[in-house]
Amino acid sequence: MATIKDVAKEAGVSVATVSRV
């Protein structure tokens, strides 16, 4: 499974932004 950092990297956003969603 993809981690928060992996998702953030793919989405082009910061880890904090992904964590808030």
Q: Record the pTM.
A: 0.28
| pLDDT score, position 1 | 66
Dist. CA 21–CA 8, nearest whole Å: 11
- DSSP H or E segment with residue 16: helix 15-20
| pLDDT score, position 19 | 64
Give the pLDDT confidence of 1-21 residue by residue, as tens digits.
678 777 767 777 766 666 666
| pLDDT score, position 7 | 72
